Structure 1
Amino acid sequence: MDNHLILPAFYLPPVSYFRAIQSTALPILIEQYEHYPKQTYRTRASICSANGKLDLIVPVQGGNKGHTQMKDVKISYEWDWQRLHWMSLQTAYRSSAYFEYYEDDFLPFYQQRYEWLLDYNVAQLELLLRLLKIERSLGRTESYYPDYAPQLDFRNSIHPKRANPTITDKPYYQVFENKHGFLSNLSVVDLLFNQGLQSKGYL
C-alpha cells in the first residue's frame, strides 16, 4: 500500500495532520484496524481559549480496554460532552473572523449522536477537507498492516505527548494571541476560524 497516505482517524485533527496530507497528492487510507491507543488525538482536540490551550476530549465506552480495534470503539454519552465542546468552541472563537461563516457546518457534530468514534472522526475529516478545498480520495484500510513506508505512515508520529521537531508553524493571528502568544499545532479549526479561505495557502 505504498501508493496511499496512511492516517489515523483524529477528532478535529491538528494542523500537522493536514500538513501531512498536503505533503503528497496520494489518496488517503484511514487506519481502522489498529488497536485503539489512549490519550491521543483520536479523542482529543486542542484549541486556544481565553485561559490558554484547552483540550476537548471525546469520551469512549470501555476506554481502558487496550485491545479494541479502532473501528469498534463506541462514543460514550453518559455526560453531555457535545454541549460542552460546542460551548467551548463558541466561547473561544465567536470573536474570530470566520467562526460565524463555518459554524453551521460544525454544529451538526454537536447535535447528532454518532455510535462509532471512527465514523464521527471520518465525517469531520470529510467536512474539513471540503472546507479547506483539499481534494483527496478517502478510503479505509481493509486489514492491519504494520510496515507501510515510513514516509507515508502517520499512525504514530502525530501525537499530543510528543513534540515533532520537524514541524514548525509560522504564526498566524489567533484570537487570544495577545494573552498567550502564538500556540502552534492546535486543531485545524483554530486555523480555519481565524484564517478562513487563506488556510489552505498556510498549510
Structure 2
Amino acid sequence: MESLLLLPAFYLPPISYFHTIQQNEQPLVMERYEHYPKQTYRTRTKIATANGVLDLIVPILHGRKDHVRMKDIRINYDFNWQRLHWLSIQTAYRSSAYFEYYEDDFVRFYEQRYDYLLDFNIEQLQLLLKSLKIQRSLTFTETYTPRVERLDYRETIHPKKASILKSPKPYYQVFEDKHGFLPDLSVVDLLFNQGPQSKSYL
C-alpha cells in the first residue's frame, strides 16, 4: 500500500501542520468522513495580539445528532464572526512586514459566506500552500478508517496537546517585546511576519 499523509482540515492551521507537510513527501489526503471532534483546530486558530495569544473560533451549527461527519458540518452566521475575526487579524498584523502583501488574498474568507466548514478550511489551505510555495495536491478520504497504516495526524496536532514542534526556532513577531516569542501559532503569524522566507523556516 502506498504511504500517505493523512490530515484533518483546520482553520488557518498552526505552523506545526505545515512543518508536517513540508517534512513528509507522501501524497496528502484530507479527512472528511471523521465524526466532527469538538475543541480542535478544525474550528479555531491562534494569533498573537497586543494582549497575548487570541483564539479565533468559527461557530458551527449544532444539530440534534452528536455524530456529524466533518464534511457535513455547517458554519453558523447568527452573528457576524467574520467581521470580528478579520478586525482581530488586521489589528494584530497591520504593522507586520508582509500583511499588506497578503491582505487581499485573505480578506475574501471574511466577506464571502461558505456553507460548509470543510470547504472554508480547504480553500484556505490551498491559498496557504500557494503562499508558502509548497506544491502539493490534495485528495480526500472516501470512507472513515479508525486506524490506518500511514502517517496519520488526525489527532496529533491539537490545541490541548503539546506541540509536535520541538524547540521551535524563534522568528520576529510584532508583539515579541511584550510577550516574548510565542511558538506554533497560526501559520499566518509566520507568513505575515516573514513573507517569502516562511517556507525556509518550515
TM-score (norm 1): 0.96
**SS of residue matched to 1:173:** coil
Shift of 1:148: 1.7
The 1:115/1:133 distance shift into structure 2, 3 A limit, reads: same
Aligned residues of 2:30 and 2:141 also touching (Cα < 8 A): yes
Output aligned runs, 1:95-114, within 5 Å.
95-114=95-114
Give the whole-Å Cα distance in 1 for the aligned partners of 2:147 and 2:62.
Answer: 28
Give the whole-Å Cα distance in 2 for the aligned partners of 1:29 and 1:166.
Answer: 21
Output aligned runs, 1:19-168, within 5 Å.
19-62=19-62, 65-149=65-149, 152-164=151-163, 167-168=166-167
Letter in 2 for 1:158: I
RMSD: 1.4
- Deviation string 1:159-184 (CA, Å, 9 cap, x unpaired) is 00111365331100000000000000
Shift of 1:64: 8.1
Give the whole-Å Cα distance in 1 for the aligned partners of 2:40 and 2:65.
Answer: 15
Structure 1: 5+ residue runs without aligned partners?
A: none
**SS of residue matched to 1:6:** strand
**SS of residue matched to 1:139:** strand
Aligned residues of 1:33 and 1:143 also touching (Cα < 8 A): yes
Q: Which residue of 2 aligns with 1:11?
A: 11
Aligned residues of 1:16 and 1:167 also touching (Cα < 8 A): no
Shift of 1:23: 1.3
**SS of residue matched to 2:74:** coil
Give the whole-Å Cα distance in 1 for the aligned partners of 2:163 and 2:15.
Answer: 12
Q: Which residue of 1 aligns with 2:196?
A: 197
The 1:193/1:63 distance shift into structure 2, 3 A limit, reads: farther
Shift of 1:3: 2.3
The 1:188/1:64 distance shift into structure 2, 3 A limit, reads: farther
Give the whole-Å Cα distance in 2 for the aligned partners of 1:39 and 1:174.
Answer: 26
Give the whole-Å Cα distance in 2 for the aligned partners of 1:40 and 1:97.
Answer: 29
Structure 2: 5+ residue runs without aligned partners?
A: none
Give the whole-Å Cα distance in 1 for the aligned partners of 2:127 and 2:72.
Answer: 22
TM-score (norm 2): 0.96
- Deviation string 1:43-98 (CA, Å, 9 cap, x unpaired) is 00000000000000000000785300000000000000000000000000000000
- Deviation string 1:134-189 (CA, Å, 9 cap, x unpaired) is 01110110100122236x10000000011136533110000000000000000000
Q: Which residue of 2 aligns with 1:173?
A: 172
Give the whole-Å Cα distance in 1 for the aligned partners of 2:36 and 2:175.
Answer: 34
The 1:165/1:117 distance shift into structure 2, 3 A limit, reads: closer
Percent identical:
65
